[in-house]
Chain A
Amino acid sequence: MGLITWLALQGLTVGLLWFLIASGLSLIFGLMNVLNFAHGALYMLGTYGALTIYMATGNFVLALAGGTLVGAVLGALIELLAIRPLYGRQLFQVLMTMGLILVFDEAVEAIWGPYPLPFAVPAALQGTFTVFDRPFPVYRLFIIGVGLTVWLLVHLFLTRSRLGIIVRAGVEDREMVQALGIDIRKVFTGVFALGGALAALGGAVAGPFEGAHTTLAAENLLPAFIVVVVGGLGSFTGSLLAAILVGLTQAFVGYYAPQFALAVNIALMAVVLVLRPQGLLGRQGG
């Protein structure tokens, strides 16, 4: 029982980080049909941005907020400069974001250097507590808390606020929303900013957990894709379910059969593709 709880908490930590990055990817795709390959880079920039602010101010809350803001601004800029001119040409939008990977990766190396940078866990969140006689870091619990809070806030925003309802309606039927006189382009920019903010917040929160290094973007894009495929593109809650499922699978298989830890996620994705190509909560097949 103790071991299971402990492993479940491990899985939740990883799962909720992946939820943060995958949910933005999924929302952007759901609304605009754009697969943002540069999404992993926004996660990485969240980490580096937060680290820089943390080193300058020593204030961790400010670092998280600043890192998230970096993601939001970059997300909006990507939409305005790179995606909007290619409106109606989905393939070229995808090719564009693929090229942006190169730009962001090189920019990060140019600004922060190629070597990994340490990111200290803030004093207030250091230490461990025990779960059935097993030590569990306080910081991991913080990650779980942030993930669940963000899910709740964005869920409330999407279901209760007028703007959120417009976004959901846009996912459902873009033309109809436009016909109602709503400037869907502003909504697009907003959702890109939100997606970027979610990814960067994930990166900022993960900073003290993973450190800052230049391969963060590539490493996190893959799990985000798996989560999005499993959960169903465009479904926010699907991303949460899938992220937790993938995180738990990762934790348990990683403990009992570490050599299969990676294969099992791809296997999970393959099974979902065969049985339900649209994902767990996705609406239509690709």
Chain B
Amino acid sequence: MLLRRAKEGGWLGAAAPAAVILVLALLPFMPVVGENRYLLSLLIGAFVFAVFAMSFDVLLGYTGIVSFGHALFFGTGTYTAILLAKYAGAGFWTALTAAPLVAALLALAVGSLSLRVKGVYFAMVSMAFAEFFRVVAEKASPITGGSDGLAVQVAPDWAYGPRNRVELYFLTLALAVVTYLVLRRVLASPFGRTLVAIRENEQRAAAVGYNVFAFKLGALVLAGVVASLAGVMYAATENFVVPSVLGVDTTIQVLLMSIIGGVGTLGGPALGAGIIRLAGTLLSSYTERWRLALGVLYALLVLFLPGGLAGLARAFGRRRAARRSAAGEGGVVAGGTARAS
């Protein structure tokens, strides 16, 4: 794998994945080296959002579905966990089982309505549905605490408390790694290949005989389920929820991560999640308006580097490869970017 990449992509093509693997290999030892609670919280957040970003990539990067309401499923996970803990006294593991079920049902219901329309129409409608549930969470204040939110312990006792957050660190890291491996497997399966075929040319996929609607619905359910798991982990790290977790702001965050990392690569959005979380925290200590800087950076990326960091690494590789072989077989196909329908 690494060798083949080195052949295709020159030094950066090999160095980038190698560096990522190295960092990942070192990560488990981080808490042992220094139990810095602040740093741990930062990394925990990065892992949670990496899972969320990977689920978003199933839709945007692999299926070519532009959803601007993906926060709905993240928020579903968070609210399921919080509400279960509050009213049923249910713990973390119950939430981790129940949330995917709720999310799957919700994805089926919302998807069968909204997937009737495509492209930007879907973007608009998906956002409308997410906003609808955000307002419901806000209005149902007797149950959800409204815009003041609801605080209750979701994290298991052994991972909660005033001491360090090492247990939660490993839990979220494990979830991120497992999500990556499972999604990579699923996306390499015939199901995942069909999703990519739909992204590339929906009419052709339909003409070949695939039930495009069913596959898209499947992608939405898969993405929704994974996002809800991230939501449960978010509930366990924060032990608190406010309606904005379902809103446009949350979706914008995951969108930023995916674009910065590079859609359609699974690893890219996960990396983007880490960068945004770390950069956000770092920048916010310098300026209160760091989100403005982030927005401008995002706009520039969309303009000049649509493939994100993953695309940049690939472009470097291509240039090297092209320079080396004057014959120019041009092995790698242009960036892993989703197309508009």
Contacts and interface: CB of A to CB of B under 8 A. Distances in A.
Contacts of A274: 113, 116
Contact of B129 (A221, A259, A266): A266
A87 B39 CA distance: 42
Nearest to B255: A98
A263 B132 contact: yes
A99 B338 contact: no
Contacts of B340: 89-92, 94
Interface in A248-283: 259, 262-263, 266, 269-270, 273-274, 277
A100 B292 CA distance: 9
Given A226-B128, A229-B125, A90 B299 contact: no
A103 B127 contact: no
Contacts of B116: 273-274, 277
Grouping DSSP codes into helix (H, G, I), strand (E, B) and loop, the B interface class, with mixed when no group exceeds half, is helix
Contacts of A107: 292
Given A35-B124, A222-B128, A266-B128, A99 B256 contact: yes
Given A91-B339, A266-B132, A99 B299 contact: yes
B248 A82 contact: no
Contact of A262 (B139, B252, B256, B306): B139
Interface string A174-193: 00000000000000000000
A218 B247 contact: yes
A37 interface: yes
A70 interface: no
B295 A106 contact: yes
Which of B291, B294, B295 has the most chain A CB atoms closer than 10 A to its own CB?
B295
Range class of the B interface residue count: 35 or more
A279 B128 CA distance: 15
Contacts of A277: 116-117, 121
Contact of B295 (A86, A103, A221, A285): A103
Contacts of A221: 127, 248
A103 B291 CA distance: 7
Interface residues of A, number: 44
A102 B294 CA distance: 8
Contacts of B118: 286
B120 interface: yes
Nearest to B140: A259
A274 B109 CA distance: 13
Given A85-B303, A90-B340, A101 B248 contact: yes
A53 interface: no
B62 interface: no
A33 B299 contact: no
B296 interface: yes
Contacts of B302: 86, 92, 95-96, 99
Contact of B113 (A99, A225, A233, A270): A270
B108 to A, nearest CB: 15
A29 interface: yes
B292 A99 contact: no
Interface in B84-132: 113-114, 116-125, 127-129, 131-132
Interface string A20-45: 00000000010001010100000000
A277 B118 CA distance: 10
Contacts of B139: 259, 262
Given A99-B255, A225-B128, A266-B132, A286 B298 contact: no
A110 interface: yes
A263 B136 CA distance: 9
A228 interface: yes
Interface string B305-341: 0100000000000000000000000000000001110
Contacts of A110: 289, 292
Contacts of A86: 302-303
A102 B289 CA distance: 11
Interface in A151-200: none
Contacts of B303: 82, 85-86, 96
B248 A218 contact: yes
A103 to B, nearest CB: 4
A269 B289 CA distance: 36
Contacts of B119: 90, 286
9 contacts: A35-B123, A89-B306, A90-B119, A90-B120, A90-B340, A91-B66, A92-B340, A102-B256, A102-B291
Given A82-B303, A90-B120, A103-B296, 15 more contacts: A29-B120, A35-B124, A86-B303, A89-B340, A94-B123, A95-B255, A96-B303, A101-B295, A102-B295, A102-B298, A218-B247, A218-B248, A222-B127, A229-B125, A277-B116
Q: Which 10 A-B pairs have the closest CB atoms?
A: A286-B121, A102-B295, A91-B340, A103-B295, A106-B292, A90-B340, A286-B117, A35-B120, A99-B298, A222-B131
Interface of A: 29, 33, 35, 37, 82, 85-86, 89-92, 94-96, 98-103, 105-107, 109-110, 218, 221-222, 225-226, 228-229, 233, 259, 262-263, 266, 269-270, 273-274, 277, 285-286
